[in-house]
Chains A and B, each alone.
Chain A
Amino acid sequence: MASEIKMSQYYDWWFDNALEFLGHLLEDVDVSLEWRNGIIFDSLDQAQIAQLVDNIERLIKFKLKYLKIGKDGSKEKANRAYLPTMHKGKYVNFLGKDVKLKQEICNYIFNKNCEDKNSKMRICDFCMNYYSGKYNISQVSQTVYPVATGSLKSQCGVRKMEPEYHACPTCAFLGSIAWLDDNPFTCDTENLTNYILFPKVEDIYELHLIKDAIRDAVKQGKNSNVMEIYKGRNGAEYERYAKDEYSLLLSLFEQIRSIGRSIGYQEEWICLRIKGTHPTYQTRYSYLSEIKIPNVKNLESIFREIQKPYSNLVDKSFTKSLVNGSINNNMGRDNKYLMSKGIVMDDFKTFAKAFRIRENCILTGINKELLYTLISQWRCNDGAV
């Protein structure tokens, strides 16, 4: 008889998002789910587990790789850069195991029989449950939890800290599959940084609804999944995407609006920033920050007045040198960041900073009508133009 399995919520941004994604995957293989402080479902049969692992395998090929088109027009599948999912060219942890072992691990997780405690059992550092580490996936790396410290004492920051953490198969499985989810991300190739956004919602069912809308809205691109495709003068297609977290958030709201869905300007977000060094090195630095939109009403009215504040206003701007008229891309990126941050955080001071003339460079390319509308909406009593 099928027994009921309950996986409770972690109240942690990474694992809650992963658990929600697992729920989404289970719904794909026709498992009836209940969202209540976690997910509750009947244990899976062998066919369902095989299908689940098949889906995960397919996603690994689809989500962690992209089609790279070389200068001579040759096409090849390349790995998505700067994610800590690989080590020396191979996937690590659960992602790197072969299909049979993956099935075994899933079998262990989804058909848990109560195991007796014995001396070889360890305690998981995340969920505090007992486990036996027979699948060799219990070592915690950045794959399982992106802000985990490395295993070298000297790189931990605090030398007396326990440098190694251990996870039970369930936590390791959840942590690894979270990379396959459709979280809005963007990659700034200039400074080798990846920005990934996670909605921060306590109630897992609400999180599920929000992420469903996001899944419908995002596309699949090389450097970002929130982007616009436009045709260049020579007819070739280019992607236009945001280069920082605030611009990403603005363009995500635009994209969700454009498909007619609404997530009601979700207020709290977690931004994970993964900074890679040169692709040949393995070191990756991860930083975590929180974005809390202080004034949702203002953002709502800005979106109502100017339909697309990012792609029509911020993205079209560029920065020129006053001396020789050449375009300064570094400064331009900085200015876009300041403008987006100002709009999202309802901070006019930051927005105005972009317009200051710095290093003899001036911001241009702003649409006059949109700028008038934006400033009147933002700073005027009645908001009318």
Chain B
Amino acid sequence: MVQFERDEMETMRKSGQVIGKIADSYISDLYQLDRTRSAEELIKQLKNLSLRAISLGKRSDGSVYTEPLANLMDLINKYKDDHEEIKDIVIVYSTFYLGAIRYSNR
């Protein structure tokens, strides 16, 4: 199991936050992310998510930062063989944030 640096963990956490926010409106993007099988597919889906974030930022008042996603792509390129582990951590954070957004007021 790969042990990550602290700033790398922070990148994954922040990207999880962004993806959770996007998934609140577009849940299928999270499913798509879960379904990726290779590092290339994962990066492609992250690009899609970034575009989604930009369009979401234009429509709503609050902006969505895409910087963590760009950092995450760098991170995946760095750990190409262990992209699955990065995906797992990002999905844990994304689902957690999605749940927090959906059910925090209830």
Contacts and interface: CB of A to CB of B under 8 A. Distances in A.
Contacts of B85: 348, 379
A338 to B, nearest CB: 12
B3 A348 contact: no
A362 interface: yes
Contacts of A362: 95, 98-99, 102
Contacts of A372: 13
Contacts of A365: 99
A372 B97 CA distance: 12
A320 interface: yes
Interface string A348-367: 11011001110000111110
A381 B92 contact: no
B99 A348 contact: no
A320 B34 contact: no
B89 A352 contact: yes
A381 B34 contact: no
A368 B4 contact: no
Given A357-B30, A381-B6, A352 B99 contact: no
A366 B99 contact: yes
B95 to A, nearest CB: 4
A366 B20 CA distance: 15
B91 A356 contact: yes
Interface in B77-106: 84-85, 88-89, 91-93, 95-96, 98-100, 102-103, 106
B27 interface: yes
Contact of A379 (B30, B31, B89): B89
B8 to A, nearest CB: 8
A117 to B, nearest CB: 59
B17 to A, nearest CB: 11
B91 A355 contact: yes
Nearest to A379: B4
A381 B4 contact: yes
A376 interface: yes
B9 interface: yes
Contact of A380 (B9, B30, B92): B9
Contacts of B84: 349
Given A349-B88, A381-B6, A366 B96 contact: yes
Nearest to B98: A362
Contact of A375 (B5, B30, B89): B89
Contacts of B5: 380-381
A379 B98 contact: no
User: 8 tightest A-B contacts by CB?
Assistant: A364-B99, A352-B88, A355-B95, A355-B92, A381-B3, A380-B9, A364-B103, A352-B92
9 contacts: A348-B88, A355-B92, A357-B34, A362-B99, A363-B95, A364-B100, A379-B1, A379-B2, A379-B89
